[in-house]
Structure 1
Amino acid sequence: MDNNILIPDHVPSELVLRFNFRDDDEFRRDPWGYIASLAEKPDIFFSPDLGGYWVVTRSDLIDEVFRRHELFTATSLSIPKMVNPLKLIPNSFDPPDHSGYRQILANNLFSPRALATLEDDSRDFSRALFGAFQPGRCEFVHDFAYKLPIDIFLALMGAHPSHRDECLSWIYGIFRGRSLQEMRDGFTAAYDFVTRWLTEQLADPERNQGSMFRAMVASRLNGRALTFEEMHSITIMLFTGGLDTVTSQMTHIMRFLAESPEHRHYLLDHPEKIPVALEEMLRRFGISFIGRAAAKDFEYHGVTFKEGDPVCAGTPIAGLDPRAFPDPLTVDFNRAQGHRVKHLGFGSGPHLCVGAYLARTQIRVMLEELLPRMPNLRVTPGRTIENAPGATMMLKALPLEWDA
């Protein structure tokens, strides 16, 4: 990927700073410290990396980017910018086109009825995965975090679990691709897989008992059934939107708890506090760099944007902004005085993540099921932990030990 571009004429030289969330060694060594240091940078700056894009560093401004679709359109989500990428429903649409599709997801695919078995499935899968660990040890990323979200999702969609590894391969390319070609290859593989699988399912939809799949087939938009193209786009969105993100979040949370006995023992002694504690960890360990584009030429907080300019709104940046969260690198389960801390980990505005409940449930159940089964949990001594940069940040590997 060419990280060097000509700086556009409307970008002042004092706002040009390097920032490459897909392939910078800083993200492999100490991403959180590096991201926290952005508080000392301009509120908005321009990075010449990844084809050139704007980076927003203040939590309140990132919130505005998510909410103000008339300025920051979701019709261009990719950084680096891709020509004619897949349009994902509803993520790649602005209101009002976005609204009808989002309502379908919220009221049907992510309804209480469609997710009725989510908690029980999460517990069953978590226990089964733990049972497959070697006594007292595991490599958490590949033995658990990669598997739980996709196993649950495949069950909800009525897809055979044998598809897990194939899906993970193209999800990895989309989120962790270091070049445009790697990203394109990931999207191409996703397109081909979903085309093949969805065609097979729709040939005899009654055979598929997946609650989320059945809700999608039964959905109506303005009184009509969804077209194949719409279901195809929604299915790719579901795969790409909810798997890598949950996996990534799990890796950072488990590493933190393995390295912080005080916080871990608090959750073991007070499991009823896990939902509140989880929100603080989601704030502290934000993982997604989300793309938008300038919808038109305009000036925003003293910065000139031109139509089409890519814009990065990073949830890790928002969560570590000291102007919004004093002492942001510290995990404080009582930060909001016993209430859930408000953060942008799931975005905000029209595109607030419709799958937030699904993600929260899986991570909460993971903590409730695994922590009591892992006494004296710790990172395996002598092992170097490396972050894997990308559109979402996760750990390459997390070797854990506990007293069996």
Structure 2
Amino acid sequence: MELSTQSRIPDHVPASLVIEGHPWQGGDVPPHDWLERIAARGGLRYALHGPLPQDDDAGCWIATEAKAIRSILIDHRNFVSRDSTGVGKLLGEDLVLAPLESDAPNHQALRAILQPWFQPAAVKARQERIDALSRDLIERFADRGHCEFVSEFAIRLPTQIFVELMGLPVDDLPQLLEWEYIAMGRKGAHLLAETWLKIRSYMDEAIADRRNAPRDDLLSQIIRSTDARAVDPEGEALGMALILFAAGLDTVVTALGWHFMHLAEHQDEQARLRREPDLIPAAIEELLRLYSFTTLTRMAVRDVEIDGVLIKAGERVVCPTALGSRDPADYVEPGQSDFDRGARRHLAFGFGQHICIGMHLARLELIGAMRAWLAAVPQFRMPKGYRPPWHGGISFGLDELRLEWEPAKNMQEATCGVDE
């Protein structure tokens, strides 16, 4: 290990726990595989690079086992969520992207503002719209026999639902998606601050517009509720708008990419879902487990010892859900798919009080998308020799996914037993 590298390792960190190389950029190695290499020895490891592109050279601890990840995510006394996205620092202000970055005593009150919009009954009312939009998108390319799945379907479905939920202009979606791609660090760190400032300005204008003319949308509800709290109406409304932007334009998009790549690679499982459409919800749950992709971050506020390893106050601890959801202590053959597994203990949506508030909507979109796709598109695959490009970081996913199939002569041939 070079001297410059050694100088970046805190004195209390054993050299045996330090990870060589960059754990968030695996090059030609698929991201789930390169993280599993880190987890092979178990316990906590120390990385010289963080998952946030703006903090690439900031060291951090990595929890590699589900038990440790759960204990950290639920320990709000010793580990806080503040500034876990790093957006406030990028903007140069004391901004909390609530509820993700909020801690006690404000967290529950801020989360409660959004909760009614994301309860199962509330999101169920959007199922018809999700189903109709899915069918409309698929009709545009089903007869063609091929598509680029990410840009032609995965991006368009959940982001359309997001802008409708927030009450943002649909015509703004292309610009929002361009900003999101940069904001998630996929073009490097040099454009992050500039892009987040643009997003902030956009949301400031949208919030000002709602204050002048409230509507029946989520953004208007956020403004009404934060005004009623009278704690920090401007900051809280902006923080919520920004975290919904990041999650609404990324999470389901990324999950769809991994899930459909899997079905393209596993023809037998794809065929089974066509024969047994009632299995789709269970399959989605297993794919969420197998392809968990977010890395959650916490900051230690006091010295803590976990499994004999000392984490000092002020040090960052990251919890890759990909490792927690593939822990062999929780699952037999965790790297293999099993639609009969009944996997409900996975960490795809996080754990504890910060568990993803949009998980019910995400599930509904994923199930609706797969049902509509299998009902309209025949058995699909990736082109021979093709490997979809992927990106690492705080949320790792596919940059594109090329799929192809033999166009069905009629709808009966395409469905192969899938109920619409």
Could you tell me the TM-score, scaled by structure 2's length?
Answer: 0.87
Query: 1:45: which partner in 2?
Result: 45
Query: Aligned in 2, Cα 1:157/1:32: closer, same or farther, shift over 3 Å?
Result: same
Residue 138 of structure 2 aligns to a residue whose secondary structure is helix
Deviates more, 1:266-275 or 1:247-256: 266-275
Aligned AA (2:250) = D
Query: 1:361: which partner in 2?
Result: 364
Query: 2:411: which partner in 1?
Result: none
Shift of 1:20: 3.3
Query: 1:323: which partner in 2?
Result: 329
Q: Identify which of 301, 306, 312 aligns with 2:307.
A: 301
Aligned AA (1:14) = S
Write the mapping of 1:139-288 to structure 2, written as runs, cut at 5 A.
139-177=148-186, 179-205=188-214, 208-210=215-217, 212-219=218-225, 227-288=233-294
Q: Which has the higher contact order (CA 8 A, sep 6+)?
A: 1
Query: Aligned in 2, Cα 1:311/1:178: closer, same or farther, shift over 3 Å?
Result: farther
Shift of 1:173: 2.0
Distance, in Å, in 2 between the alignment partners of 1:112 and 1:278 is 17
Aligned AA (1:129) = L
Write the mapping of 1:62-211 to structure 2, written as runs, cut at 5 A.
62-78=69-85, 82=89, 86-106=95-115, 108-111=116-119, 114-115=122-123, 117-133=125-141, 135-177=144-186, 179-205=188-214, 208-210=215-217
- Residues 242-279 of structure 1 show CA distances to partners (whole Å, capped at 9, x for unaligned) of 32111111100001011112111221122122112211
Aligned AA (1:197) = A
Distance, in Å, in 1 between the alignment partners of 2:103 and 2:322 is 24
Query: 1:9: which partner in 2?
Result: 11
Aligned AA (2:180) = I
Q: Identify which of 391, 394, 403 aligns with 1:391.
A: 394
Computed over aligned residues only, the root mean square deviation of the Cα atoms, in angstroms, reads: 2.4
Shift of 1:223: 6.1
Shift of 1:231: 1.6
Query: 2:417: which partner in 1?
Result: none
Distance, in Å, in 1 between the alignment partners of 2:174 and 2:184 is 15
Shift of 1:7: 0.9
Distance, in Å, in 1 between the alignment partners of 2:89 and 2:228 is 31
Deviates more, 1:86-95 or 1:28-37: 28-37
Query: 1:403: which partner in 2?
Result: 406
Query: Aligned in 2, Cα 1:174/1:21: closer, same or farther, shift over 3 Å?
Result: farther
- Residues 99-147 of structure 1 show CA distances to partners (whole Å, capped at 9, x for unaligned) of 11112211x3324675354211211221121122262111001111111
Query: 1:54: which partner in 2?
Result: 61
Query: Aligned in 2, Cα 1:152/1:80: closer, same or farther, shift over 3 Å?
Result: closer
Query: Aligned in 2, Cα 1:80/1:40: closer, same or farther, shift over 3 Å?
Result: farther
Unaligned runs of 5+ in 1: none
Distance, in Å, in 1 between the alignment partners of 2:119 and 2:136 is 26
Distance, in Å, in 2 between the alignment partners of 1:143 and 1:327 is 34
Task: Check the 8 A contact 1:178/1:390 in 2, yes or no.
Answer: no
Distance, in Å, in 2 between the alignment partners of 1:54 and 1:233 is 27
Query: Aligned in 2, Cα 1:384/1:368: closer, same or farther, shift over 3 Å?
Result: same
Task: Check the 8 A contact 2:44/2:63 in 1, yes or no.
Answer: yes
- Residues 306-357 of structure 1 show CA distances to partners (whole Å, capped at 9, x for unaligned) of 1111111011111122222121111001113xxx432111011110111100
Unaligned runs of 5+ in 2: 50-55, 408-420
Aligned AA (2:182) = G
Distance, in Å, in 2 between the alignment partners of 1:55 and 1:224 is 38
Residue 100 of structure 2 aligns to a residue whose secondary structure is coil
Query: Aligned in 2, Cα 1:29/1:80: closer, same or farther, shift over 3 Å?
Result: farther
Shift of 1:65: 1.4
Query: Aligned in 2, Cα 1:94/1:175: closer, same or farther, shift over 3 Å?
Result: same
Distance, in Å, in 2 between the alignment partners of 1:155 and 1:176 is 25
Task: Check the 8 A contact 2:23/2:47 in 1, yes or no.
Answer: no
Query: Aligned in 2, Cα 1:279/1:19: closer, same or farther, shift over 3 Å?
Result: farther
Distance, in Å, in 2 between the alignment partners of 1:248 and 1:10 is 37
Query: 2:416: which partner in 1?
Result: none
Task: Check the 8 A contact 2:17/2:44 in 1, yes or no.
Answer: yes
Residue 10 of structure 2 aligns to a residue whose secondary structure is coil
Instruction: Indicate the percent of aligned positions where both proteins have the same amino acid.
Output: 27
Deviates more, 1:169-178 or 1:69-78: 169-178
Residue 144 of structure 2 aligns to a residue whose secondary structure is coil
Query: Aligned in 2, Cα 1:72/1:347: closer, same or farther, shift over 3 Å?
Result: same
Task: Check the 8 A contact 1:29/1:386 in 2, yes or no.
Answer: no
Deviates more, 1:180-189 or 1:247-256: 180-189
Aligned residues: 393
Task: Check the 8 A contact 1:101/1:221 in 2, yes or no.
Answer: no
